[in-house]
Amino acid sequence: GAGVSQSPSNKVTEKGKDVELRCDPISGHTALYWYRQRLGQGLEFLIYFQGNSAPDKSGLPSDRFSAERTGESVSTLTIQRTQQEDSAVYLCASSGTLARDTERPNYGYTFGSGTRLTVV
Amino acid sequence: EDQVTQSPEALRLQEGESSSLNCSYTVSGLRGLFWYRQDPGKGPEFLFTLYSAGEEKEKERLKATLTKKESFLHITAPKPEDSATYLCAVRGNNAGNMLTFGGGTRLMVKP
């Protein structure tokens, strides 16, 4: 697609329920990232997918959080047994391949508009 | 661990009043410093990438500069439509493709 698409745009869920957030990256982008942004704060890294490599899960805050990606397309972020502190905007981004450390892409990431999650 | 600190947290300007936003960073081998603009309810929008000290990039009323320890985003004669949160991020040698973001500066330009 023309941009990074996230759904739903808003989600209100009850504490203890599971939620699934979806990200559809830009076609051809091999890298996909999930970030969390709490109200008035900066972006907190969650997980990163690069092609067929094992994902970098180092930012996931607990084992209630998991993410999957099918090939180089759609990704889903799942939060099990949601808690009130999970309330935030969840942002997805994608970028093209960085084949070597010396590559210098000028665009950084392209972000979606995010999913605003509210746990009540 | 890469770290990014942005200041001030919030900045109110009158239309036409030029100012600068600061981004201080520590990183193990800088492979890019990025500036983004974020409007309420939207994802961050890419503005600039800087790679080495002394580099400058310009776009309309915005100019980004870089030293070995910090970056500045200079806003010349701002307009109300420049009101947004400005985010700074770095990518270091040890981070793969991951960006580390600062907390942002919320800019409000009053007419």
pLDDT tens, A34-58? Answer: 999 998 788 999 999 988 888 999 8
The closest of A22, A21, A24 to A4, measured between CA atoms, is A24
Q: Which of A 10-29 lie inside 8 A of B, CB atoms?
A: none
For B30-60, the pLDDT digits (tens) are: 989 999 999 988 999 999 999 999 999 999 9
SS3 category, A38: coil
Strand partners of residue B72: B22, B65
CB half-sphere exposure, B93, CA atoms < 13 A = 5
Judged by CB atoms closer than 8 Å, whether chains meet at A108 and B36 is answered as yes
B11, B109 contact by CB (below 8 A): no
Residue A103 has pLDDT above 80, yes or no: no
Pairs of CB atoms within 8 A across A/B = 66
Which residue in A24, A18, A20 sits closest to A6, CA to CA? A24
Closest C-alpha to B80, from B1, B36, B15? B15
Q: How far apart are CA A51 and CA A104, in angstroms?
A: 18
Residue owning tokens 């300007």: B13
Collapsed DSSP state (helix, strand, coil) of residue B18: coil
Band (pLDDT 50/70/90 cuts) for residue A102 is very low
Question: What are the backbone dihedrals phi and psi of residue B50, each rounded to the nearest 5 degrees, phi first?
Answer: -125, 145
Note the pLDDT of residue A100.
Answer: 41
Which pLDDT does position B99 carry in this prediction?
87
Q: Which amino acid is at B102?
A: G
**How far is the alpha carbon of A11 from chain B, nearest alpha carbon, in Å?**
14
* Beta-carbon separation of A113 and B103 below 8 A: no
Are B25 and B33 within 8 A, CB to CB? yes
Q: Which residues of B touch A112 (CB under 8 A)?
A: 43
**Pairwise CB contact (< 8 Å): A111 & B31:** no
* Contact predicate B85/B45, CB 8 Å: no
C-alpha torsion sign, points B91, A50, A74, A8: negative
As a whole number of angstroms, the distance between CA B84 and CA B82 comes to: 6
Q: What is the average per-residue pLDDT within B23-27?
A: 96
pLDDT computed for residue A90 by the predictor: 98
Q: What single-letter amino acid sits at B63?
A: K
CA dihedral B11, B12, B16, B18 (to 10 degrees): -20
A43 touches chain B (CB under 8 A): yes
